[in-house]
A = this chain, B = another copy of it.
Amino acid sequence: MISIAAELDGRSIQIITANTSVFSPEEVACVRELWDEYRQHGAQTSGYYFVVEREEGRVRGYACYGPRSLTEGTFELYWIAVDPQCRRAGVGRLLFDWVEKDIRQMGGRLIVVETSGLEKYAPTRRFYLATGYILEATLKDFYKDGDDLVIFTKHL
- Check B143 against A72 for contact (C-beta < 8 Å): yes
Q: Are A30 and B143 in touch, CB under 8 angstroms?
A: no
**In the complex the two chains form, is B137's CB within 8 Å of A70's CB?**
no
A residues in contact (CB < 8 Å) with B:
24, 26-27, 30, 69-74, 109-110, 112, 136-137, 139-145, 151, 153, 155
| Copy total for this chain | 2
Do residues B27 and A141 form an inter-chain contact, with CB atoms below 8 A?
no
Are A109 and B145 touching (Cβ within 8 A)? yes
Contact B70 A141 (CB under 8 A): no
Besides A110-B141, A136-B137, 17 other A-B contacts (C-beta < 8 A): A24-B70, A26-B69, A27-B70, A30-B69, A70-B143, A71-B144, A72-B145, A73-B144, A74-B142, A109-B145, A110-B142, A112-B142, A137-B137, A137-B139, A139-B151, A140-B155, A141-B155
